[in-house]
Amino acid sequence: MHGSPFPILGLSGGIAAGKSFVAGKLAARGWAVVDADGLAREAVLPGSEGLSALVAAFGPSCLRPDGALDRAWLAAHVFSDDAARARLNAILHPRIEALLAGRLAGLPADTRGAVLDAALWVERGKAHHFDAFWTVDAPEALRLQRLQARDGISREAALARLRAQATPPERALHADLVIPNDGRDLAGILAGAEAALLANWKVRRARTWRTPMPAPFSADQLRDVLATLLSRGGDYGEAFVERRRAHALGMDDGRMEDVLASETFGASLRLVDGETTRFADLIAPTFEELTDAARTLAAPGTGAAAEVPALVLKTHPTPSPVERDPGRVALSEKVALVRRAEALARTEAEALRPGALKQVSVGYGDSTQRVWIAAAESRDGAWSGALTEDHRTQVVLRANVTAGDGTQLQTGYQALGETRGFELFTDEAVAHTVREAARLAVQALDAQPAPAGTFPVVLCSSAGGTMIHEACGHGLEADLALAGMSAFAGKLGQKVAAEGVTIIDDGTLPHKRGSQAIDDEGNPVSRVVLIENGVLKAYLQSRKTSRKMNAEPTGNGRRESYRHLPIPRMRNTFLAAGGEAPEAILRDLDRGLLVKRMGGGQVDTVTGNFVFQVTEGYWVENGEPKYPVKNATLSGCGPEVLKGLTRIGSDLHHFDIGTCGKDGQGVPVSDALPTILCPALVVGGTAEPLPSVI
């Protein structure tokens, strides 16, 4: 796909949003449109190998009397059965992709561009595989009307089909363009977007499908290392090679106190033999040293030598193209960024409350990591081998502002960070970050002590998904579930949350802090639906846990560095958007707490009990924020919170960033939620307790 001489546009949209209508508009502008739904029909024509595979999987009941596929029968079974849907996708998707490749290869080289029209690019984790990705949206009421009229189904059945797909706010997170197909004239929108795409698609493609970096070891050398590692038996062997460069600057009260730079090169070997794992890590190894370490790990084995096949490097597109590699940005420019942010924070704080500013601290960091992962695995008596690589870039700017009034000190904190290059730090983005830090510090001086009691709590989208990550997400990691250290252990297929609650972990979100092309075991990243409409659907899997649970790896095997073993970890975890207007949720709150920003906290993954700090909150009466509060905490039980959610907003847009710690390892993550109403949380505060509403 990325070798085509013309741009490739991925086009998607929910059922009945009108993506086929938009595809027709693009066809009229000279684009070649390839309809994936049409290819799906072609893949199962009477007499085809694809139709035979469907009959073998679903039985002869899926056929009409004339021998063709009974699509109505199949839809009725698939939309209500996750396992059946997975079987269908496993049969159809490879065949559709083969047909798709054939269609693209058959297009003339002077084609204006190709539109790949499919409903499930986001759900399949493929939205970042194109030169641009557009999605078509329309109001839900209009989509329901169209779907009922088109397919002659009830409103409930139409809603079920809509709920089986990603929500419009989630698709928008992936999209370069959201096309509003609500009856307006689209000519101007399409013309402008088309011009921009035609002007820059080659640059975008080069950044997305990056040229592989020269590896410290050749493919043949890595194969020899794996052969040595598995020379005395084993089920799985792996070599993980890493180069990393990092820079950090720290300014405190106008003084540049930290200027740090580091470069590391290392490798690790892992041998899995039944339930036994043997591991070694080496600093800056030569090929001979790596081979010696492989021989040492292999020595206790008593099995037959593996037949490791030749390794061919496979590249994967990144969801986070980089424009300015921070490793190539001059130190003077980074220093200037920190000084500019520090000066702006001082100016903003002084403007808000003259004389209140006590301290400003600004920190900058960047990390460029390159990894190469060679692996050999035995399944069903046959050996396979893989060699993958990834280039990951992280940048972050942090601002701490402390204000005081003679009796107290209050701090405001904000961070700006993504899997992006130095281009992230625009004047607008930097100004917004430091102004928010200054605002939070000064506003906290006027905040009143939070009341204590059990109250309804509205969590805004701006609060980030700390609760989802800590109180729920860790319990959905497969190693904790296997160990019985999760409130969700043993509950696959069971109702664990309220209807409408869907929790997703997605490593393909563009530029989010937990996104990358592959995980640290070489598996392509994916979108994993953990809880769907209240039902537990999956855990986050590493290669090791997936073998134990007879599941597929989900691309969540992550490690801090070559010195660590990979374990199941979250990436970008969020509660999917609902259909309610956020302002309506707040308006209906008679008395309770509005939380706009969350801080750190603690959680017990076995029970799901949590305690979190509130860094920006407001006491609410009759739907109106009355005053800001300070020293507030939230306590509750994550699984119980999920069961009690009754109102979920449509405003999924803000992802908090952080470094998640587990088993002594830290990895970059992000999390989010829409505005939600938690009917009853324990609010801890230093004011006199108020009578609880609950």
For residue 689, what pLDDT is reported? 60
Contact in structure between 469 and 669 (CB atoms under 8 Å): yes
Band of pLDDT at residue 687, cut at 50, 70 and 90: low
160 vs 82: CA distance, rounded Å: 13
> Considering only CA atoms, which of 116, 123, 133, 139 is closest in space to residue 17?
139
Burial label for 606, CB within 10 Å (0-12, 13-18, 19+), is: middle
Give the separation between CA 378 and CA 674, rounded to whole angstroms.
43
* Per-residue confidence band for 691, with pLDDT thresholds at 50, 70 and 90: low
- The answer for residues whose C-beta is within 8 angstroms of residue 687's C-beta and 6 or more apart is 448, 449, 450, 451, 452
Q: Both tokens of residue 290?
A: 């790596």
Structure tokens at 353: 């409350």
Contact 152, 232 (CB under 8 A): no
Q: What is the dihedral of CA 63, 65, 71, 73, to 10 degrees?
A: -80
The candidate with the shortest Cα–Cα distance to 606, out of 569, 638, 635, is: 638
Split at pLDDT 50, 70, 90, the class of 693 is: very low
Strands of 185-304 (E only): list them: 236-252, 255-273, 276-283
Please write the tens of the pLDDT for every residue from 577-602.
998 999 999 999 999 999 999 988 88
Q: What is the DSSP string of 477-503?
A: BHHHHHTT-STTTT-TTSB-S-TT--E
Confidence of residue 608 (pLDDT cuts 50, 70, 90): confident
442-463 pLDDT tens trace = 999 999 999 999 999 999 999 9
